[in-house]
């Protein structure tokens, strides 16, 4: 994934910045400042009380660790295939209808890769559906590492954390108490083999037909070839780097632009659960991540819950380096994200 622009863009003049600026300048409906004024100390209670199965952070951590133990899940590597088989059997064991979407792609550095999106569906006949997603591949090189820029790295946060949360949600859904809505968990492949010009990468190749970016190959493919004909979801939530200690999630620009209502729903749910240290009500610029293509091509409003580090910017200093290993993963953070998602899903009518 790449950082696209900040609130104070320096040189990029792309249209998207202007559009995002508009949505930042006029966020009346996002901040709820139109309509009758509420007392500031008024806490909005949910309309009904739902028994939400508690998210188990030990279990989610186990799933993160399990992925790291396979080795970096770099496309074409043995660990990549082993992890895919593990995810598929986990989803099936936990009662999901599973679709494997295999496709070939070419990367910016001219590697031919075999990629696989994995889709696990619960309540497959429910018309109203919520889409939860994360990417499961690992970037092939630590190009932002201080010393070994060509080295592989664990991707404990970048990839494995979001997948770990989704595997735990799958385990909970598999226990039988279903929400009122259908739930689709999508593991996108090929998100992280993109060209990062900030680390000097240049490509002689043209981006192939059917793609707009070297990043996010799996979500671009899925958005154009949905796993079910005419598939639609009411909304989507993408998880990316959701496991590091004291992580904070700011309101990302693309999410604000395409899915402000979803952002509001998720952030207010987190607030009701006491996770305001994690889900910060501050707007920041947008990034290129899988949610962008789900919004723009598949036309499903989707937000991105993604780590933003004050003073560093998106992702934190471990990003695409060997620091992205299990030592930065926190059960408390996984718990904040997992419980928030479970509540959003189970409160949806």
Identify which range of 55-63, 112-120, 143-151, 157-165 contacts Zn ion by CB under 5 A. 157-165
Distance CA 69, CA 65 (A): 6
Identify which range of 115-123, 184-192, 195-203, 217-225 contacts Zn ion by CB under 5 A. 184-192
Total chain residues near Zn ion (CB under 5 A): 3
Partners of residue 98 on adjacent β-strands: 120
E strand or H helix at 262:
helix 260-272
Site track 104-143 with Zn ion (rule: CB under 5 A), x = hit = ----------------------------------------
Distance CA 2, CA 13 (A): 17
Whether the CB-CB separation of 263 and 239 falls below 8 Å is answered with: no
Nearer to Zn ion, 240 or 264 (CB): 240
CB of 191 to Zn ion, least distance (A): 7
Site track 314-333 with Zn ion (rule: CB under 5 A), x = hit = --------------------
Distance CA 244, CA 198 (A): 23
Identify which range of 15-23, 152-160, 302-310, 335-343 contacts Zn ion by CB under 5 A. 152-160
Q: Which two tokens stand for residue 198?
A: 């900030």
Identify which range of 41-49, 55-63, 114-122, 150-158 contacts Zn ion by CB under 5 A. 150-158
Nearer to Zn ion, 221 or 315 (CB): 315
Q: Does 289 bind Zn ion (CB under 5 A)?
A: no
Q: Which of 145, 158, 196, 289 binds Zn ion (CB under 5 A)?
A: 158
DSSP string, 234-257: SEEEEEES--BTT--EEE-HHHHH
HSE toward the beta carbon, residue 99, CA cutoff 13 A: 17
CA neighbor of 77 nearest in space, from 12, 178, 153, 4: 153
Distance CA 195, CA 139 (A): 11
CB of 179 to Zn ion, least distance (A): 30
Whether the CB-CB separation of 220 and 292 falls below 8 Å is answered with: no
Nearer to Zn ion, 158 or 257 (CB): 158
Q: Which of 168, 189, 192, 304 binds Zn ion (CB under 5 A)?
A: 192
What three-state secondary structure class fits 16?
Answer: helix
Residues lying near Zn ion in the complex (CB under 5 A) are found at: 1, 158, 192
């Amino acid at each position: 994934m790449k950082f696209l622009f900040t609130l104070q863009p320096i040189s990029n003049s792309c249209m998207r910045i202007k559009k995002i600026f508009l949505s930042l300048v006029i966020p009346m409906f996002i901040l709820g400042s139109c309509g009758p004024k509420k007392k500031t100390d008024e806490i909005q209670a949910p309309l009904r009380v739902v028994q939400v199965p508690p998210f188990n952070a030990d279990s989610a951590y186990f799933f993160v660790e399990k992925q790291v133990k396979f080795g970096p899940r770099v496309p074409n590597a043995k660990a990549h295939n082993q992890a895919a088989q593990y995810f598929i059997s986990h989803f099936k064991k936990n009662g999901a209808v599973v679709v494997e979407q295999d496709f070939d792609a070419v990367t910016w550095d001219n590697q031919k890769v075999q990629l696989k999106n994995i889709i696990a569906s619960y309540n497959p006949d429910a018309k109203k559906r919520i889409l939860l997603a994360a990417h499961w591949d690992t970037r092939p090189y630590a190009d932002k590492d201080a010393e070994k820029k060509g080295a592989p790295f664990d991707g404990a946060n970048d990839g494995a954390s979001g997948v770990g949360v989704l595997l735990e949600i799958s385990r909970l859904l598999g226990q039988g108490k279903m929400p009122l809505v259908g739930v689709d968990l999508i593991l996108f492949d090929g998100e992280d083999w993109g060209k990062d010009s900030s680390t000097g990468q240049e490509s002689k190749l043209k981006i192939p037909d059917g793609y707009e970016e070297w990043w996010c190959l799996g979500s671009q493919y899925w958005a154009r070839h949905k796993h079910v004909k005419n598939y639609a979801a009411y909304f989507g939530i993408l998880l990316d780097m959701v496991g590091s200690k004291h992580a904070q999630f700011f309101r990302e620009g693309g999410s604000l632009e395409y899915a402000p209502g979803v952002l509001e729903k998720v952030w207010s749910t987190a607030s009701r659960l006491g996770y305001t240290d994690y889900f910060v009500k501050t707007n920041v610029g947008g990034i290129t991540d899988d949610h962008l293509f789900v919004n723009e091509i598949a036309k499903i409003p989707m937000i991105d819950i993604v780590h933003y580090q004050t003073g560093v910017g998106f992702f934190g200093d471990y990003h695409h380096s060997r620091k992205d290993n299990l030592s930065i993963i926190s059960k408390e953070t996984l718990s904040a994200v997992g419980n928030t998602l479970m509540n959003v899903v189970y409160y949806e009518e």
